[in-house]
Structure 1
């Protein structure tokens, strides 16, 4: 079953049909190789925490979908690891993303959001992805890693080349990988010469102090993952949340009446239109039964986060955006030991981005209705979000 095009243009219709028919389906991956797709909430949530489903490609059998291929210097990251290596690396970087550490970023994130919105002017039209949803997370994650402005590059174009490759430029992904590796080598050399009070300097210190704790490939792969995942999820979550509000004016009005509802609303936005259709592929280390299907060891398993979050057995009337809904328990950011490390940061950025936008502009509407989604089965986000805005409420 080849679902690639339909999953980009109308994913929830496809997932609804698949989920109704059977909990598990044999499909064809983007590389033409087969995989198993899991669609129901209970199965997806259980599988996300199942230690028999490995992220390590060493457990993959030949002839099955394997996902994105990166060179070793970028591939030795948390998305390809199981314990104990996963535990070791996550502990090293996890303290930078605890809720209390992330909360300390509230003031600088709000200031960055204010600067971006001030640059829009009092009224007009803009692509809210390019002008706001993308640059805000990039600014924040670069500050966290300690990437000076002079070293910042076009991270979004690199990310798009990897997760939403242009079929007319098949070499673009390889060019992006080469560019990223060069960037990180240059950045790490700079940090070794001039360490600072930032996450990347801390990781380099760990690497140089004790070679057994962090290899050079692990160091570069961690920096890549933190930068790449640290803004991609936030870009999608912010953009998708704004689109959901614009398409549901009753919910926009509900939220405007009381902006203190935004933190709870972010959970519903994540459930309703999360930043990823699928979780990272997994490989059973032994035969695993899901639903009425026994999946052989080494086959590829794809867990649909979006299908699970629209499962009516878990969320009544799931295709309706309901900002008064109790959306706790959604799997938009994962579950188990591989739960998204940057989830607290993505939530905070989305909360602030929405609050600032709604406070500053009374009138916000779609400037176009013909919207295009990024051609990716991994990321769920818009290419552009053209909006028209008027009625500035305040400016800081």
Structure 2
């Protein structure tokens, strides 16, 4: 964050200084990495405010996503935010005009955008018409699948989208993520395993992204720091006491069978980091060099109806190429007769009805096709339509008093 726009501002024209001062969004998950980054940022702003006749270089908005509605631990987010303010210094935070926003994850779900997505046996995806039973909360939507890795992947989509929407609503031009080098290495492998390799470049690279016709500058200030180093900093500054260990590691022991893909990869890198930290830096460097994949001939880049990420190649075509659709050729008349009898008895009438009631064919990326494969054939309900910038602002105003934490 050595760019000119983050440095202190001088001058007497307050309107001109205000126009040059960017608003920065910092998501805090109460994992140690995000808490450490917040502590560093507060120290930097305190140092800037102490300079003679100087104005701080940027305004800071801290956003906390409240997932307590479906979290079995029933964590009181407001209580933790208050503890965080006390550790950081309430008077100092007020002096620096740092805003804290608590956004409920439920805000991601709006009934008028809920649709049913169907996936046929040949990997064709359709969106279905809205029904009376589509007025669901986020917990019910996530419980449509029993696979823990799938639920975690879907929840990550909700978190990412909620952060971007909050940035638009708060008029932020910069988003800081507190990911350590270890967390970025986790993301490289977990995205590859989940079939989201095309997202690695966007998730690791600092730079400008476009969201709802607004440019957002994404930065990872701790990308060169190992998680073990962050833990030591956290202990020295007393941040470990308020950490919930959500985003970086966990103190809860689970059996391998109960762990998600992300948890397994985290455990691997935590064990490697002690003696072979160069492995982590190598994974991040390789991941950072990955570019967007080339597209197939005559294939128009689309956005996934579920996760909104770009689709560069047709996943349906690729799955058809690697999937065996038929068995050994039939030779005897008896074998042919048995096959016809079997097909007549198990004809998939349900699949025909799904296609009949579908509105339109919709694009799904490979990762989301895998996710929907765990939900069965009854269809998967999801908020498929991303709100416009004006809709984001309107919804935010309606829920502002409820989500504010001043």
Q: TM-score range by the shorter chain?
A: under 0.3
TM-score where L is the length of structure 2: 0.23
Q: Which has the higher strand share?
A: 2
Q: Which has the higher helix share?
A: 1
TM-score where L is the length of structure 1: 0.24
For CA contacts below 8 A with separation 6 or more, give which structure has more relative contact order: 1
